[in-house]
């Protein structure tokens, strides 16, 4: 039997050393008996394409890679705002709907409500209805979840695996402690009954 | 034949007058021969549930509502950061994978690259490799797309319908001009050959 394939979703593709982090993740996958698939494994050539065509082509390749995998591990560490990277979140919804086994981790332990209030520069106010609201009067979730409820809901309905751990300073997007816990859990979940 | 059902995804559920905006959207759906389904149409009771259980229950209800619809129109207006609301983006990926007809609009016409640079307080720098990077060295997409390439890629692979228009001042999350254009397009797309 070939090893099961895991799509490695996360904002680390934006890092200057993205390839290196991808190789580290794939080495860890092998350690647990899996084949890791990193989004930038397939090189999309920019030549002859407009920036728009180039971007759309990468999206197409990534959706194909997800379809080719049995498992997805998503890095939900907040990225340029209080929430996870939207590209990763898109892939989470896409994967869950396709029936993939989905697990996730975040390298930031701070609560979603606190992160949101901080991102809004503290300009939040509790309304007469008891809800915390931003400057536009839009409420802020206080459900003790790690991000928007659709994200936690996905993982709760899927693997129930969402590792929350604080990365060491300076390693927010490259630390793999939570990721390795997902791999251990994936191994346990997929070897059940075999 | 009952009218086709459209799930109305977007961050307007966070507005103080969310119900009102939902009713306006549903009235517009009827005008075009559709039945609009707004996420908060199904009231989830908070009593007897922990905040966490309450949040997860809403997610479960929303996924069920999406499954019950044939069409999804997503409001991708940037929300608390340079990108669209992650809950909406999750639903976009989920809906596309399920084969729903997906259309979208954004009420902010500013480019994604500019929005990102602004959200980073202008702390961006072009690296030796030609890529624009943030303070952590993570690159910023410059693909002339409206958001992360997975989002544009989804719509390009699906309906090809993504309306970008600037809302009047103060109406960023409630303006329905772009939304109505999606409805007109959905009507055209679904009545083909009938």
Tell me what ipTM this predicted complex has: 0.97
Say whether pLDDT at B181 is over 60.
yes
* Residues of A whose CB is below 8 A from B91: 93, 150
B153 touches chain A (CB under 8 A): yes
Question: Which among B11, B80, B96 has CB closest to A116?
Answer: B80
Average pLDDT over residues B42-47: 93
B5-111+146-190, CATH topology level: Rossmann fold (3.40.50)
Q: How far is A58 from chain B (nearest CA, A)?
A: 8
* Residues of B whose CB is below 8 A from A149: 55-56, 58-59, 87
Say whether pLDDT at B194 is over 60.
no
Phi (first) and psi of residue B106, to 5 degrees: -135, 140
Q: How far is A1 from chain B (nearest CA, A)?
A: 27
Question: Which among B116, B143, B147 has CB closest to A54?
Answer: B143
Average pLDDT over residues A169-189: 97
* pTM for this predicted structure: 0.98
Closest residue on chain B to A63 (Cα) = B150
Q: How far is B13 from chain A (nearest CA, A)?
A: 8
**So where are chain A's domains?**
5-110+146-190, 112-145
Residue B9: which residues within 8 A CB-CB, separation 6 or more?
Answer: B39, B66, B72, B73, B74, B75, B87, B88, B91, B92, B95
Sorting pLDDT into bands at 50, 70 and 90, what band is A184?
A: very high
Average pLDDT over residues B68-93: 98
pLDDT tens by residue, A39-60: 999 999 999 999 999 999 999 9
| Nearest-angstrom CA–CA distance, B174 and B180 | 12
| Nearest-angstrom CA–CA distance, B44 and A133 | 20
| Nearest-angstrom CA–CA distance, B91 and B154 | 12
Average pLDDT over residues A10-16: 97
Say whether pLDDT at A140 is over 90.
yes
Q: Does domain A5-110+146-190 have CATH number 1.10.3720.10?
A: no
What percent of chain B is predicted at pLDDT more than 70? 99
Tokens (6 digits) for B39: 């996420």
Q: What is the DSSP letter of B11?
A: G
Put simply, the answer to whether B136 touches A96 (Cβ < 8 Å) is no
Closest residue on chain B to A49 (Cα) = B143
Burial label for A95, CB within 10 Å (0-12, 13-18, 19+), is: buried
């Amino acid at each position: 039997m070939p090893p099961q394939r895991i799509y490695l979703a996360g904002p680390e593709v934006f890092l200057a050393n993205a390839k290196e982090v991808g190789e580290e993740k794939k080495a860890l996958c092998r350690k647990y008996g899996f084949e890791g698939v990193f989004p930038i494994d397939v090189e999309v050539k920019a030549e002859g394409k407009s920036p728009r065509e180039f971007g759309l082509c990468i999206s197409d390749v990534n959706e194909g890679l997800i379809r080719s995998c049995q498992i997805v591990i998503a890095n939900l560490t907040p990225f340029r705002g209080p929430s996870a990277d939207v590209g990763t979140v898109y892939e989470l919804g896409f994967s869950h709907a396709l029936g993939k086994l989905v697990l996730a981790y975040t390298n930031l332990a701070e609560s979603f409500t606190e992160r949101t209030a901080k991102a809004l520069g503290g300009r939040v106010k509790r309304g007469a209805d008891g809800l915390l609201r931003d400057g536009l009067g839009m409420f802020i979730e206080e459900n003790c979840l790690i991000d928007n409820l659709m994200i936690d809901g996905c993982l709760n309905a899927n693997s129930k695996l969402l590792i929350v751990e604080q990365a060491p300073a300076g390693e927010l997007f490259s630390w793999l402690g939570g990721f390795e816990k997902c791999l251990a859990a994936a191994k346990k979940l997929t070897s059940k009954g075999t």
